[in-house]
Amino acid sequence: MSKHIAAFGEVMMRLQVPGYESLAQGRTLNYSFSGTGVNVTSAVARLGHTGYMISTLPKNPIGDAAMSFIQKLGIVPSYISRNGENLGMYFLENGFGVRPSQVTYCNRQESSFNTATTDNYHFQKIAEEIDVIHFCGITLAMNDQVRSQMKSLAKAVKANGGKVVFDCNYRPSLWGEGGYKKAKSHYEEMLHLSDLVMMNEQDAKYILELKTNKLERKEQLIDLLPIVAQTYQIPVIAGTHRVIDSANFHSLQGFMYKDNSLTFAEPVSFQVLDRIGAGDAYTSGILHGEINGFSPEKTVAFATVAAMLAHTVVGDTPTASENDIFQAMNHASLDLKR
């Protein structure tokens, strides 16, 4: 079943030093464009849906480049408006082994998206045309104007019978000191509007201030997710637990709470090429499973493998097709397809 799935959020320019050099050692940068919304809508487009990005890009060559890139990913650009002069950027220096990767953001609050006024968008028309809308907690951290746009779009989509997906994605550096306090009411408002929420026990504890006397992550999850689902009336909650086995080897275990029941996927372990954006692959997998009426077991397995594959591709944006994911679920490692 193919749906019309849109995301509202910022498009950022990723500027990555090739290889393992630092910005001070290097001379060239590879650039691409991404963002949670871009990642999710591109991923669902690869899974057979129609993906739309709702955003604002600057009216200059940087915006043109972002536009071309988004189109290349197969995202329909018709809900993107062009205004302003800035795009959020982040510089990425690859770590190696014990030396961590380093992300440096710049130019964020001044971006076209974060300064665009509401009349820049046609929320009503969009709400009528789409089936699913995706939001994320990064956007929620930006400023009052963007927060207000987010909430009114969510309401419009719901009013037109669409579904709302919300990824908590709490980033401490964006909310600053005392951030959880500032964030709580905004998160709660979004949770009340959502049909599918991406979160884990940390979000429940720190943002929603829920208590648990369990020590282990999984047990905290078992404790807290039912309360969250109940309190905010959320049909489906999903997320992952990551373990860093060694510098470039990670393990991931997906979970999903639905119909009063918490389902865990088999954990997977794998070598990591590029971990940015892998969580968005998980979201797209859960969404795809739900749309197609997969069993919870199949959905979490599918989403976990989608996330695993996203760690093995260059760039933030997942590129696996449904077929690639099923192949990886069913087979042991191939070394060469020919």
Stretch 56-75 residues interacting with a copy of itself (CB under 8 A): 60-62, 64-65, 67-69, 71-74
Identify which of residues 130 and 237 has a Cβ nearer to a copy of itself in the complex.
Answer: 130
Q: What residues numbered 205-224 form the site for a copy of itself, per CB under 8 A?
A: none
Q: What is the CA radius of gyration of the chain?
A: 19
* Shortest reach from residue 222's CB to a copy of itself, in Å: 26
SS3 at position 42: helix
- Number of C-beta neighbours around residue 159 at 10 A: 11
Q: Which stretch binds a copy of itself (CB under 8 A): 26-34, 130-138, 259-267, 293-301?
A: 26-34
Q: Does 329 bind a copy of itself (CB under 8 A)?
A: no
Among 2, 30, 230, 233, binds a copy of itself (CB under 8 A): 30
Among 4, 26, 202, 217, binds a copy of itself (CB under 8 A): 26
Q: What residues numbered 259-318 form the site for a copy of itself, per CB under 8 A?
A: 270-273, 275-276, 308-309, 311-315
Closest CA to 62 of 11, 102, 103, 118: 11
Closest CA to 275 of 239, 238, 309, 322: 309
Q: Does 40 bind a copy of itself (CB under 8 A)?
A: no
Q: What residues numbered 3-22 form the site for a copy of itself, per CB under 8 A?
A: 15, 18-22
Identify which of residues 105 and 209 has a Cβ nearer to a copy of itself in the complex.
Answer: 105
Q: Does 116 bind a copy of itself (CB under 8 A)?
A: no
* CA 281/CA 145 separation, integer angstroms: 28
Identify which of residues 118 and 271 has a Cβ nearer to a copy of itself in the complex.
Answer: 271
* CA 319/CA 108 separation, integer angstroms: 26
DSSP letter string, 144-209: HHHHHHHHHHHHHHHHTT-EEEEE----HHHH-TTHHHHHHHHHHHHHHH-SEEE--HHIIIIIS-
DSSP state of 13: E
* Shortest reach from residue 218's CB to a copy of itself, in Å: 20
DSSP-derived pairing of the beta strands 89-93 and 12-16: parallel
Q: What are phi and psi of 91, to 5 degrees?
A: -95, 135
Query: In whole angstroms, how far apart are CA 225 and each of 36, 54, 243?
Result: 23, 30, 20
Among 5, 57, 80, 87, binds a copy of itself (CB under 8 A): 87
Is 252:9 a contact under the CB 8 Å cutoff?
A: no
Q: Which stretch binds a copy of itself (CB under 8 A): 83-91, 157-165, 197-205, 229-237?
A: 83-91
Q: Does 29 bind a copy of itself (CB under 8 A)?
A: yes
Q: Interior CA angle at 141 toward 187 and 9, to 5°?
A: 95
Residues 6 or more apart from 284 whose CB is under 8 A from it?
Answer: 39, 40, 43, 44, 47, 303, 306, 318
Identify which of residues 30 and 233 has a Cβ nearer to a copy of itself in the complex.
Answer: 30
Identify which of residues 20 and 294 has a Cβ nearer to a copy of itself in the complex.
Answer: 20
Q: What residues numbered 126-185 form the site for a copy of itself, per CB under 8 A?
A: 171, 173
* Shortest reach from residue 300's CB to a copy of itself, in Å: 18
By CB under 8 A, the count of residues binding a copy of itself is 77
Q: Does 102 bind a copy of itself (CB under 8 A)?
A: yes
